[in-house]
Amino acid sequence: MGLEAYKYEAAYGAAKWSRAASCMSLRVRHMGLTDYVDIWRAMQVFTQRRNAESEDEVWLLQHLPVYTLGLNVKPENLPQDGTVPIVKTDRGGQITYHGPGQIIAYVLLDLLRLRIGVRGLVKRLEESVIDLLEAYQINAETRIGAPGVYVNGAKVAALGLRVRKGCCYHGLALNVDMDLRPFRTIKPCGYPGLRVTQLRDLGIDDSLDCITKRLSEMLTYRLRKI
């Protein structure tokens, strides 16, 4: 599938659980260091073209430096950096930063077929990161009303999703070994004063490839339990 741009269509409203449930078939793709807009458009194309028989997929990758604005972003939360590109996207949430050294896991799933809601999916995405950190003897937690994963009050993973016609895309971003300075010019996820951390600062020195592999294992395990 090419990374060609397609016109965005408005998302469907709430849909009924009408598709037949089936055992999850999940394909994991490793896509390297990518431009945000190219991947975003590719996710839209994939979701637009899929049908009831399409395989669910997880895309693992990194992004070139970019600020992304969710549908709920407020003007006072806009970045003051001036050097990093800004993209207004179609995911939920407010503002965040992506850059090299951050693992992105985009989940392209048929939620109707899986008979799972957004809250249930968010829970499993968060649990996959908590599982990963637990393997390194690090205690992590979630927060009610503030999706993501936190260690000692600092955010280490952010989440944002979009649902169209009962299928989702976007996903989670895990800070591993990156330049965190661009977070200082924004209110991450709309929360003033929110501290941001990463695995390297938590004492984890495994390679990015190793952590990507472990996250993939945790994520596919959680998703296949649906």
Q: Give catalytic residues, as residue numbers.
A: 189
Read off the tokens for 209: 């490839």
Q: What is the 3-state secondary structure (H, E, C) of 176-209?
A: CCCCCHHHHHCCHHHCCCCCECCCHHHCCCCCHH
Alpha carbon distance 226, 208 (integer Å): 27
Backbone angles phi, psi at 108, to 5 degrees: -115, 95
Beta bridge partners of 141: 150
Read off the tokens for 205: 């020195």
